[in-house]
A = this chain, B = another copy of it.
Amino acid sequence: MYSQSEENYLKAIYHLEESSEKGVSTSKLSEELQTKAASVTEMLKRLAEKKLVNYQKYYGVSLTPEGKSWALAIIRKHRLWEYFLVECLNFNWDEVHEVAEQLEHIQSKKLVEELDCFLGRPSFDPHGDPIPNAAGVLPEFKKRRLSEFKVGDTLICKGFSDASSSFLQFLDQHKIGLDTLVSIKSIQEFDESMLVKVRKSEIMLSKTATQNIFVEKNKESKIKEKV
């Protein structure tokens, strides 16, 4: 339907709209996409003709509803593929982006829906970013960091921030990955480090670490609490 290049522009505009109050300018886009401003201008004219963006010479650009919904569809694909790569194909979180950039442009409604289903309709990708559903709606609950919880809570790891490879290796060593169960045993007051239980063993996590681990409340553990 649209070219890879056009899709990349839509995605970039979407991300820039999200991450800043002001509108999206030609120069911001050119930096994001690593192209020259002149090329951006040209493309914006083309996208405006296709009614994917509102573009006013010299005054920046915004997505139309059509453009936004297309951007969300690409982001959905990107994040589902990232999830697949980490969950099924043993990729690390810092390796998935490049490949997902390619996979997100594959055109097939059925492919996306079946992949989503195969993966168990995940709500967050391995970086903790929300995955829009087929209708382009983002999950309501926002991502929460392990550092936000208290002693006694049991949580399921649902994502990790882009982090140094040493952090990554640390998690790997302790076999902390997507869907790993973690329960908080104690919290040191002075540095907010946590002693957590993972499977059979107890591990000490610094505040830096707990801020970079995204989690969800464990539904099963709620049941146990009641019993």
Contacts and interface: CB of A to CB of B under 8 A. Distances in A.
A2 to B, nearest CB: 14
A106 interface: yes
Interface in A74-128: 85, 88-91, 95, 98-99, 102-103, 106-108, 110-111, 114-115, 118
Chain A, interface SS category: helix
A89 B109 CA distance: 12
B102 A89 contact: no
Q: Which of A89, A91, A95, A106 has the most CB of B within 10 A?
A: A89
Interface residues of A, number: 18
Interface string A47-90: 00000000000000000000000000000000000000100111
A26 B111 CA distance: 35
A115 B89 CA distance: 6
B111 A107 contact: no
A89 B114 contact: yes
A88 B110 CA distance: 13
Nearest to A102: B106
A90 B107 contact: no
Contact of A98 (B90, B98, B99, B108): B108
A114 B86 CA distance: 11
Interface in A24-56: none
9 contacts: A89-B114, A89-B118, A90-B114, A91-B110, A91-B114, A98-B108, A102-B108, A103-B103, A103-B106
